[in-house]
Chain A
Amino acid sequence: MIELNEVSYSYGGDALLSDISLRLAPGSFHFLTGPSGAGKSTLLKLCYMELMATQGTVTLFGRPAHEIGRDGVASVRRRVGIVHQDCQFLDHLPLLENVALPLTVSGQSTEANMAEMQELLAWVGLSSKLRALPPELSGGERQRAALARAVVMSPDVILADEPTGNLDWEMSLRLLTLLVELNRMGKAILVATHDLNLIRQAKAQVAARVLRIKDRRLQLAGADL
């Protein structure tokens, strides 16, 4: 579904990623680790076309990224659910409308999908917060709402950038459980995190590959994980 083939990315003459190859197949689960500034977020951004590779080929759903126009990017993003560390909500809209935003922008009726929406919000444990504005939610609630928004279009791929960065351990586990459930539904999952305990916990539940970015290159993480 998403494939990076010998991809490099430079910014202002500095190479941030070099010779990266990665394939996110249906039902796959990948963790991406590395120290802060290693390029985890950059790699994720290449996967949803917020950035474009300076070398190599990124293929999204069978189409090379450089052949995809702006409307095509929008179509790609409807098939890729993205969970940001800072959640990226519209603070003036209540939670329900924020979660339904991908449906709204694709011209689908929230009312027609209300039953599914309520089921989704119950799944992430936010049934009682439908009318709350994002600034009124706790960090954990915001992360779960971000996950709900990422899956509302039933995407093929879910990309999560430090989804547990602001959460306590209990809440992190809860979010992980949700991701594992999505993976069992056949979604490809790529989670960028530096939380090694979370990765160990996940490996006990799902066959996840752990990748590490070191010296701008991607490598399989060691047996310690």
Chain B
Amino acid sequence: MRLSEIVTILKGDPRADRAVPPTGYTARLTLLTAAAMAFLGVFALALSLATGRLADRWSSELAQSSTVRISAPADQMAAQTEAALRVLRSTSGVASARPLDAAEQLALLAPWFGPDLPVETLPIPQLIEVIETRDGYDAEGLRLRLKAETPGAVLDDHTRWRRPLIEAAGRLNALGLFSLLLIGAVVVAMITLAANAALSANAQVIRVLRLVGARDAYIARAFVRRFTLRALSGAAFGTVLGMIAMALLPRADPAGGFLTGLGFQGAGWLLPLFIPPLAAVIAFWSTRLAALRALKEIT
């Protein structure tokens, strides 16, 4: 089918439209379904984008950093820290290494012990934040060198808990995309059902049109145009509602968890705008196929 034919169908022919009477409840059903599915589509899209961002962030942040924990008696802590720093700074693939100060360590413990913890009086280990270069370092080699130079140092490169988190975010991302596909499939099913109902309700009209010389494409056009425009307007309404709902969600903040980051960012706000035309395309082809199939049963 050429683009010019599609444009002709959407422009419509008032006389052809008048030949098929308004289709009552199927019109409202299509509008409602398209609006509801577009609303859900906005959320599924937001979920997919948010989990995608989350996976990327965790992946890049965690992949670039690791921690060296030094557990030593208080009088040896400074010396072991200095020794570990020497080892780290001379290790290929380590971009920087710095010990966390008391305030930073306190901030890490605050969620569990509150803000007034007297860190200096507790035998807590010293943490060294290690930032890797792009190529990274040889973790096993570094562990052996640290063990030789600083017996109380333990390297944690986050691998153990980084992988399942990234996998979880990736699966959530896939779930969001799958939800979008399901929503599309439901739209196809609902519009096909509504179109079939409209075609059945107008079987006599279609028969008369065929008897006076109407071609299948002419008859299908009247139904296709209606359902396409209804799906477009219903989806536009649902998309706008969904975007307003997303805009009203609480803002993401540094302390916020995953849910506060659910939403669109920057150019991501443009993506939901593709939902109404997509719904229209789905409606166009679903109705056209349903109409041409139904017409074949009428001579």
Which positions in A face B, CB cutoff 8 Å?
Answer: 48-51, 70-71, 73-75, 77-78, 82, 84, 88-90, 92-93, 97, 101-102, 104-106, 110, 149, 153
**Does B15 contact A110, Cβ atoms closer than 8 Å?**
yes
A70 to B211 CA separation, bound complex (whole angstroms): 12
Report B160-178 CB contacts with A as 1/0, cut-off 8 Å.
Answer: 0000000000000000000
With contacts A51-B299, A104-B19, A110-B15 taken as known, whether A89 is within 8 angstroms of B213 at the C-beta atoms is: no
B132 on interface, CB distance cutoff 8 Å: no
Pull 18 A–B residue pairs with CB atoms less than 8 Å apart, ordered by A: A70-B295, A73-B299, A75-B213, A77-B210, A84-B211, A88-B211, A90-B21, A101-B208, A101-B209, A101-B212, A102-B212, A105-B209, A105-B213, A105-B214, A105-B215, A106-B213, A110-B15, A153-B213
Q: Total contacts A to B, CB within 8 angstroms?
A: 60
Q: What is the bound-complex CA distance between A48 and B212, given in angstroms?
A: 11
| Contact in complex: B213, A88 (CB < 8 Å) | no
The verdict on A104 contacting B215 (CB below 8 Å), with A49-B299, A50-B299 known, is no
- Chain B residues lying within 8 Å of A101, measured Cβ to Cβ, are 19, 208-209, 212
CA distance A49 to B211 in the complex (A): 10
B interface: dominant SS:
helix
Give B contacts to A, CB under 8 Å: 15-16, 18-19, 21, 205, 207-216, 218, 295-296, 299
For A89, give its contact among B16, B21, B208 (CB under 8 Å).
B208
Of B18, B19, B213, B215, most buried by chain A (CB within 10 Å of CB) is B213
**What are the residues of chain B within 8 A of A110 when measuring CB–CB?**
15
Residues of chain A within 8 A of B299, CB atoms compared = 49-51, 73
Q: Is the CB of B18 within 8 A of A74?
A: no
Given A50-B211, A70-B215, A105-B212, 4 more A-B residue pairs with CB atoms under 8 Å apart are A73-B299, A88-B211, A105-B209, A106-B213
With a cutoff of 8 Å between Cβ atoms, the chain B residues found around residue A102 in the complex are: 212-213
Chain B: minimal CB distance from A143 (Å): 16
Whether A71 pairs with B215 at a CB distance below 8 angstroms is: yes
B18 touches A97 (CB 8 A): yes
A75 to chain B, nearest CB (A): 7
CB distance from A183 to the nearest CB of B (A): 21
Least Cβ–Cβ distance between B79 and chain A, in angstroms:
93
Contacts known (A49-B299, A51-B299, A71-B216); A77 close to B211, Cβ less than 8 A:
yes
Task: Known A50-B299, A73-B299; judge A93-B213 contact (CB<8 A).
Answer: no
Chain A residues in 8 Å Cβ range of B210 = 73-74, 77
Bound CA–CA A102/B210 (angstroms) = 10
Q: Which of A73, A89, A105 contacts B218 (CB 8 A)?
A: A105
Complex CA–CA separation, A153 to B211 (angstroms): 13
A112 to B205 alpha-carbon distance, docked (Å): 25
* Contact B212 A70, beta carbon cutoff 8 Å: no
Residues of B within 8 A of A82 (CB): 211
* Complex: A97 Cα to B218 Cα, angstroms: 17
Shortest C-beta distance, B198 to chain A (Å), equals: 14
Taking CB atoms, residues of chain A closer than 8 Å to B18 are 93, 97
For residue A73, which residues in chain B have a CB less than 8 angstroms away from its CB?
210, 299
- B215 close to A88 (CB less than 8 A): no
Q: CA of A119 to CA of B19 in the docked complex: distance in angstroms?
A: 23
Contact A88:B216 (CB < 8 A) given known A97-B18, A104-B19: no
Closest residue to B205 on the A side, CB-wise? A90
